[in-house]
């Protein structure tokens, strides 16, 4: 198992952050120059869900003031709470948008730092071979590059929940790897207060505890393992903490609206179509030439499921199961935003790092990494251009 | 003592979850909310322009 001093990683993470923000700014300025965009930085980077989050920060949760019924209680509270915290610390000097930018970018840096530490702890960075791992991309740092420049990671630096969510997922897996299960439970609880899918982290938590139990006792007996959880209250508490964030929001919604499941029922405002879960959604969009962005999303989902199967076979089982279940949940109703959800689950980047590391051909590695960076730059441009695919 | 406190915390969390589920099992929403978000009998949300 590889362990390194944190002090060696952090300056490199900061340097990667500065370089990738420079690239993002370059794409933004190029877009503004080519397409005569004069709306300004906040106009370009503060769109779509950002508007809802900024509304919550400024006005709290409230009944919708629009005929389509898209209410802001569809969006979970932890990210706006963090933005409010920054607003309070700065004495209200910064707008909700800039508070959101600060929260997202700090979370991005923390995510990258602990993501690199995680894969080093897991031993995934051993025997890195190939030019793509040289210099500032070596010893796991390639994963930081992916979090900051791969396709659809533009969400991690704008006021969206993805950055906070990814940070909490990374911290969860890191704590679970260190067998600090109560801390992992706390991070999962906070993830559940950021997005409902955070609840799925209970599955890898139980898997991590099972691995720990097998290592301690030499026994893989499931019933004895379950008994051991009840016999060790810290582990039982770790599991019970996971849904606490979600239930806290449900209690708030009950008192605010009289409906603890308002965050589910409000989805009707975004989509009226009903499909058979997963199968019906794929059937509708897999060959849907009239909605090409959903068709592309469907094929991306298929490719990602294949990656998760590979990750499971290669031993990244907790991550694969979490990624697959976290993707199946939105696919139970629609294809909308699934690429964003995939990117925001973090584990796909961990899987791609490991897949590229396992490639025997240096050329294949170069092509893969170059394609990822090119895709990242393209999706930044697509964001600037309000392309529906990146919504 | 530490074990007792941990079990107490577990019991507290379970009690919290049960409380939320019992409290929230019956909807206490306005007619407009039910018509739009639950029954889908109306397709537009009525609101007051500010």
User: Where do the structural domains in chain B lie, given as residue ranges?
Assistant: 2-38
DSSP A194: T
What's the pTM? Answer: 0.95
Residue A49 is encoded by which pair of tokens? Answer: 């869900």
What confidence tens digit (pLDDT) does each residue in A151-210 have? 999 999 999 999 999 999 999 999 999 999 999 999 999 999 999 999 999 999 999 999
d(CA A80, CA A86): 10
- Residues of B with Cβ-Cβ distance to A64 under 8 angstroms: 45, 47
- Residue A4 confidence (pLDDT) above 80: no
Task: Locate the chain A residue with the closest alpha carbon to B4.
Answer: A233
d(CA A121, CA A89): 35
Of the listed ranges A95-99, A211-215, A300-304, A387-391, the least confidently predicted one is: A387-391
Average pLDDT, chain A: 94
Residue A369 is encoded by which pair of tokens? Answer: 């990494």
A83-114 burial string, b = 16+ CB within 10 Å, else e?
bbebbeeeeeebbbbbbbbbbbbebbbbbbbb
Residue A312 is encoded by which pair of tokens? Answer: 């499971």
Confidence class for position A3, pLDDT limits 50, 70, 90: very low
Residue that the structure tokens 């509708």 belong to: A284
Is B18 in the A-facing interface, judged by CB distances under 8 Å?
no
- Residues of A with Cβ-Cβ distance to B38 under 8 angstroms: 259, 265
State how far residue A190 is from chain B, nearest Cα, in angstroms: 15
Confidence class for position A1, pLDDT limits 50, 70, 90: very low
Give the largest CA-CA distance in chain B. Answer: 58
Q: End-to-end distance of chain B based on CA atoms, in angstroms?
A: 57
- Residue A277 confidence (pLDDT) above 90: no
Helix (H) or strand (E) holding A227: helix A222-231
Of B10, B28, B40, the CB nearest to A237: B10
What confidence tens digit (pLDDT) does each residue in A278-337 have? 988 998 899 988 889 899 999 999 999 999 999 999 999 999 999 999 999 999 988 989
Query: Which residue, A193, A191, A154, is CA-closest to A170?
Result: A191
> Nearest 5°: CA angle at A132, between A129 and A133?
55
- Residue A60 confidence (pLDDT) above 90: yes
Contacts of A329 (CB under 8 A, 6+ apart): A196, A197, A200
Is B31 in the A-facing interface, judged by CB distances under 8 Å?
no
- Residues of B with Cβ-Cβ distance to A185 under 8 angstroms: none
């Amino acid at each position: 198992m590889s362990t390194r001093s944190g002090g060696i990683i952090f300056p490199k993470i900061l340097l990667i952050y500065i370089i990738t923000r420079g690239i993002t700014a370059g794409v933004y300025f190029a877009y503004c120059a080519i397409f005569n965009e004069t709306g300004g930085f906040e106009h370009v980077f503060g769109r779509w869900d950002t508007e809802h989050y900024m509304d919550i920060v400024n006005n709290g949760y409230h009944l919708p003031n629009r005929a389509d019924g898209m209410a802001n209680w569809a969006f979970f509270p932890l990210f706006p709470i963090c933005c409010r915290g920054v607003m309070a610390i700065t004495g209200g000097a910064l707008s909700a948008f800039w508070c959101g930018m600060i929260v997202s970018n700090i979370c991005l840096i923390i995510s990258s730092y602990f993501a690199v530490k995680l894969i080093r702890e897991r031993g995934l960075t051993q025997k890195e071979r190939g030019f793509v791992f040289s210099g500032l991309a070596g010893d796991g740092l390639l994963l930081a590059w992916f979090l900051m420049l791969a396709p659809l990671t533009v969400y991690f630096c704008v006021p969206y929940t993805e950055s906070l969510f990814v940070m909490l997922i990374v911290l969860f897996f890191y704590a679970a790897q260190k067998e600090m299960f109560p801390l992992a439970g706390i991070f999962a609880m906070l993830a559940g207060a950021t997005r409902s899918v955070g609840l799925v982290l209970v599955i890898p938590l139980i898997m991590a505890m099972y691995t720990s139990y097998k290592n301690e006792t030499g026994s893989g007996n499931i019933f004895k393992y379950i008994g051991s959880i009840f016999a060790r209250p810290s582990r039982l508490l770790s599991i019970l903490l996971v849904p606490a964030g979600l239930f806290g929001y449900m209690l708030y919604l009950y008192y605010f609206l009289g409906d603890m499941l308002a965050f589910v029922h409000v989805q009707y405002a975004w989509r009226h179509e009903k499909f058979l879960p997963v199968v019906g959604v794929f059937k509708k969009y897999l060959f849907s030439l009239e909605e090409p962005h959903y068709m592309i999303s469907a094929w991306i989902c298929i490719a990602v499921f294949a990656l998760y199967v590979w990750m499971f076979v290669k031993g990244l089982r907790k991550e694969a199961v979490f990624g697959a279940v976290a993707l199946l949940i939105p696919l139970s109703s629609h294809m909308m935003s699934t690429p964003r959800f995939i990117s925001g689950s973090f584990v796909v980047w961990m899987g791609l790092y490991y897949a590229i590391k396992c490639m025997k051909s240096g050329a294949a590695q170069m092509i893969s990494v170059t394609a990822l960076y090119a895709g990242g730059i393209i999706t930044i441009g697509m964001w600037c251009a309000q392309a529906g695919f990146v919504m | 003592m530490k074990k007792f406190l941990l079990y107490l915390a577990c019991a507290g969390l379970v009690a919290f979850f049960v409380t939320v589920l019992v409290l929230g099992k019956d909807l206490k929403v306005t007619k407009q909310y039910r018509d739009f978000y639950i029954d889908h009998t109306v397709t537009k949300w009525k609101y007051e322009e500010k």
